[in-house]
Amino acid sequence: MQQLVTILLGLLQAIAPGATTGTIAKVVEVLAALVPIIVQQYKDLLPLVQNVIAVLQSNGDITPEQWAALDAISAQYDADFKAALAAAKAQDAAGS
């Protein structure tokens, strides 16, 4: 599964620079679906998500709504990652 997610993120990264408004909308949908899975199981892939978001946000065809959606996705994975980190630390502390 991780290979599939990695390939999909690579594909998104490849199409992001020349994406039209319609393509950006689809990429936003895919990222919104992938981020919860990545945060839970494939944290090492988060930099790829961040890169796709950065490339899309530098695209001149992005709409304000799409920009806001990408910001929301970024905030989601930041919050989810911090929560997972806190839970892991609490679990480690409880085991010590």
pLDDT of residue 96: 61
Task: Judge whether 66 and 24 are in contact, CB under 8 Å.
Answer: yes
Per-position DSSP letters for 10-47, written without gaps between them: HHHHHHSTT--HHHHHHHHHHHHHHHHHHHHH-GGGHH
Q: What is the pLDDT of residues 19-46, one digit of tens each?
A: 999 999 999 999 999 988 888 888 888 8
pLDDT of residue 59: 92
pLDDT of residue 14: 93
52 closest CA partner among 6, 3, 83, 4: 6
Distant-in-sequence, close-in-space partners of 34: CB < 8 Å, separation ≥ 6: 5, 8, 9, 49
**pTM more than 0.85:** no
Q: What is the pLDDT of residues 35-75, one digit of tens each?
A: 888 888 888 888 899 999 999 999 999 999 999 999 999 99
